[in-house]
Amino acid sequence: MARIALLTNFAHIMLLFRRDLIRMLAESGHEVYCFAPDFDAASRQALQKLGGMAVPYTLNSRGINPFKDLLATWRLARQLRRLNMDAMLACFVKPVIFGAFAAKLAGVPRRVGMIEGLGNAFTRHAAGYSAQARRIQRIQAALYRLALPLLDTVILLNDDDRRDLLEQHRIRTRQTVILGAIGLNLADYPPQTLPQGPVSFVFVGRLLREKGVFELLQAAEQVHARYPATRITLIGGFDHGNPFALSPDALYAHLQRGTVRHIAHSDDVAGELAAHHVFVLPSYREGFPRSTQEAMAVGRAVITTDVPGCRDTVAHGVNGLLIPPYDADALAAAMLHCIENPAQVQHMAQESRTMAAAQFDADTINRRLMALMLPENNPS
């Protein structure tokens, strides 16, 4: 059985996105070492219950100090060598880049990196890329050009990311795999009948410009003017200090007018999704959004943007509606269409669940990840 290192940027991300994979690897008899920089007693205990072992390591996920990053890479290589890892799966931008360097230095035999979206630097806003975004994009592309050839396999979630990163920046890889959805434990998201009453809408995500939250608020004003009883709920926290974040004061004005309601945090996202008819994600770019997968799994129609990642979740007119990015009027028109066509919303909701059952099963997807990490154990 293999000793496997899973690298990510935050402990809660490890528990949210890798939970089912950790359990599957442990139940298959592998030793699973979970690397994150911010473990606490609760996250350590949660990992232990899944069968994984928490390993703290140094990573500044937003830092750009090359000397600190080099030191952190050297330290990570020492940890990987000491633990005698057989395989590594690194996820997200910095863990993939510096994990590739560290695993190569440590002599880890099998090295896999999964880039779950290209991040802010590659997310085009309505005004285009800022000068800072272009600079970070060039730096990341240069680092990827050095790191990705060190990996046996590079996993991306959608083909747009492959074109925009690998082709546009001429980055060589040994093997590139387009995974699609990272998957859900569908038992946690059973299909739910639509609630009684007028068509309602829900958004789940951080309240950031690139998630389309400002366009959603503008569209909500238009919807409220026509159908003042319509319920539009935003679920997500504020990102204080982020220049592209929605401020509490800006949201408060909308709450006062009754155009939207806000839930900062929910321990029952599936229940909140089930309490509404249509899931809305007017994002500027995604890898393969988990929130949309969750909404489709419980059986909800989806309104989202025709951009990388988002467009991979919706067949226009089948399980939802695709709209242009940055366009509050188009979003409002799609929401009004749903309000005025509840029978179509019912049909799209059913199609969403059918698509989720066929495409988002975590067990199937995690077995594919296992085969990429440990190809010698793959019976095929």
CATH number (domain holding residue 283): 3.40.50.2000
The answer to whether 173 and 148 have CB atoms below 8 angstroms apart is yes
pLDDT at residue 98 greater than cutoff 70: yes
What does the pLDDT average to over 104-117?
97
Residues 34 and 122 in one domain: yes
Residues 254 and 227 in one domain: yes
Give pLDDT, residue 63: 67
Give pLDDT, residue 379: 46
Give pLDDT, residue 377: 66
DSSP class of residue 278 equals E
The answer to whether 295 and 313 have CB atoms below 8 angstroms apart is no
Residue 344 CB: number of other CB atoms within 10 A? Answer: 14
pLDDT at residue 326 greater than cutoff 90: yes
Taking all residues of the chain, what is their mean pLDDT, rounded to a whole number? 95
Report the DSSP pairing between strands 232-235 and 201-204: parallel
Distant-in-sequence, close-in-space partners of 197: CB < 8 Å, separation ≥ 6: none
Taking Cα atoms as reference points, which of 208, 189, 200, 236 lies closest to residue 355? Answer: 189
Residues 43 and 155 in one domain: yes
What does the pLDDT average to over 334-358?
98
Residues 143 and 53 in one domain: yes
The answer to whether 202 and 276 have CB atoms below 8 angstroms apart is yes
The answer to whether 334 and 303 have CB atoms below 8 angstroms apart is yes
Residue 128 bridge partners (DSSP): 125
Residue 130 CB: number of other CB atoms within 10 A? Answer: 14
Stretch (H or E) spanning 294: helix 290-298
CA gap 132, 192 in Å, rounded: 44
The answer to whether 158 and 309 have CB atoms below 8 angstroms apart is yes
Report the DSSP pairing between strands 301-305 and 232-235: unpaired
CA gap 134, 171 in Å, rounded: 17
CA gap 23, 179 in Å, rounded: 20
Token pair in block for residue 154: 């590079």
Report the DSSP pairing between strands 278-281 and 261-263: unpaired
pLDDT band for position 62 (cuts 50, 70, 90)? low
pLDDT at residue 373 greater than cutoff 50: yes
Residues 88 and 225 in one domain: no
Residue 280's domain comprises 186-359
Residues 216 and 166 in one domain: no
Taking Cα atoms as reference points, which of 342, 321, 343 lies closest to residue 332? Answer: 321
Give pLDDT, residue 60: 74
Residue 94 amino acid letter: K
pLDDT at residue 271 greater than cutoff 90: yes
Residues 204 and 350 in one domain: yes
pLDDT at residue 61 greater than cutoff 70: no
What does the pLDDT average to over 62-68?
76
CA gap 285, 107 in Å, rounded: 35
Counted domains in the chain: 2
Residues 159 and 254 in one domain: no
Residues 98 and 142 in one domain: yes
310-314 long-range contacts, Cβ below 8 Å, gap at least 24? 310/281, 310/283, 310/285, 310/286, 312/157, 312/158, 312/180, 312/288, 313/288, 313/289
Residues 214 and 347 in one domain: yes
Determine what percent of the chain falls in helix, strand and coil, rounding each to the nearest 5: 50, 15, 35
What does the pLDDT average to over 59-63?
72
Distant-in-sequence, close-in-space partners of 352: CB < 8 Å, separation ≥ 6: 295, 296, 297, 299, 300, 301, 302, 319, 320
Residues 278 and 345 in one domain: yes
Residues 98 and 40 in one domain: yes
CA 297 to chain centroid, in Å, comes to 16
84-87 long-range contacts, Cβ below 8 Å, gap at least 24? 84/3, 85/3, 85/4, 85/5, 85/33, 86/2, 86/3, 86/4, 86/110, 86/374, 87/2, 87/3, 87/4, 87/5, 87/111, 87/112, 87/373, 87/374
The answer to whether 322 and 306 have CB atoms below 8 angstroms apart is yes
